[in-house]
Structure 1
């Protein structure tokens, strides 16, 4: 099933990750065990490239660093906006699924992509 939209973090967020890697290099070169510090920029880069939301005809798929989670349109009860403007899907089973890169300002776009399944604010 082809995605209608893929919403990811801006690739500009990789600039601080590169700076973190450059700053970690001298520390990592100081001792063999300190090379573990280089895992931090790698994890940060993986997070920037991986985390996001896909919307398609079948539902919404959220991608975290470890695994994707899919919510079919039939299982969607609504959307909750948290105090920090983060969006969460509310399922018919009563659970909540965070939408990692979306904020309240993205709700009109998400409503348009849903084909009328989510009410626009």
Structure 2
């Protein structure tokens, strides 16, 4: 059994949240209820740390802020690329699960950690995308 591959947001995304928390501190000290304002950067930090994708021998797990969804390898029908380059897992039941932190440039890494279960088509050398 191989260890899971984890795709997460870069931890340097927490730096602006630290700056935001320091900027909120003077306001948070004004009245008894204003420390509640510090929950905003804390909630965003939880989102940064929680969201991601885990690839294991069992399947692919998409982790959101409040939940997660695992698609086993037998359920997986393919991957759809969205209009903005976001990735969606397509299941055999024709449902879709968004992969929160992955984009099209992550497809080769995703295929590599899938253990050969995902094949990413590669355009032939010298070919150009069709004109629209």
Aligned match of 1:23: 23
Residue 3 of structure 1: how far off its partner (Å): 3.5
Aligned in 2, Cα 1:3/1:52: closer, same or farther, shift over 3 Å? Answer: farther
| Structure with max Cα Rg | 2
Q: What is the CA-CA distance between 1:2 and the residue it aligns to?
A: 5.5
SS at match of 2:117: coil
1:101 CA drift (Å): 0.7
Q: Which residue of 2 aligns with 1:98?
A: 98
SS of alignment partner, residue 15 of structure 2: helix
Between structures 1 and 2, the one with greater helix share: 1
Aligned residue pair count: 121
CA shift for structure 1 position 116? 2.2
Structure 2: stretches of 5+ with no match in the other structure = 122-132
* Matches for 1:15-94 after TM superposition, within 5 Å: 15-94=15-94
Instruction: Name whichever structure is richer in strand by fraction.
Output: 1
> Partner of 1:120 in structure 2?
120
Identify unmatched segments of 5+ residues in structure 1.
Answer: none
Q: Deviations over 1:53-90 (max 9, x none)?
A: 11011100111111121110011111111111111111
